[in-house]
Structure 1
């Protein structure tokens, strides 16, 4: 896990924990508090899923780019070897 990913994970965990604690200590009815927690959890889950998908797409693009460069290098080396 890169430092950027660690920072993003820590930030997401901090936001989630802060949201839950803030809601739990708010002077609201239990039912309303539980709904807020569920809504915030869903939003956080959706956000994390989107970030993970974005990361997967970036990695796939990087992988394809590296494969193309590796093939190009392989072809160049083959031409020089012949």
Structure 2
């Protein structure tokens, strides 16, 4: 998880803890306190769910971008290798032609 995610989780946890402590120490009936705690828990649950969804989307986006970048890099390498292989083949064919010519000249002599 990145620093922004950790910071957000820290703020979320601090807010939830502060809300729970505030409700527990506030002078109110037990029924009202339990309802507030339940409401705060639901709110925290939704915030965490939203954060998890956002982090999942970021991870998928990053993975997709990295895959595309890797595919482009592999394609570039394959193109370079292909051109270099053609150069090597051309050079070898030229040398083979020269050797055949020399061999032909030696056989005439």
Fold shared, TM-score > 0.5 on shorter chain: yes
- Cα root mean square deviation, aligned: 1.0
Aligned to 1:32: 32
Higher relative contact order (CA 8 A, sep 6+): 1
Normalised by the length of structure 2, the TM-score is 0.71
Shift of 1:38: 0.5
Q: Any idea what SS the aligned residue of 2:66 has?
A: helix
Q: Any idea what SS the aligned residue of 1:16 has?
A: helix
1:8-27 superposed matches below 5 A = 8-27=8-27
Larger Rg: 2
Q: Which runs of 5+ in 2 are unaligned?
A: 83-109
Q: Does 2:81 match 1:81? A: yes
* Equivalent pairs, count: 82
1:32-71 superposed matches below 5 A = 32-71=32-71
Normalised by the length of structure 1, the TM-score is 0.93
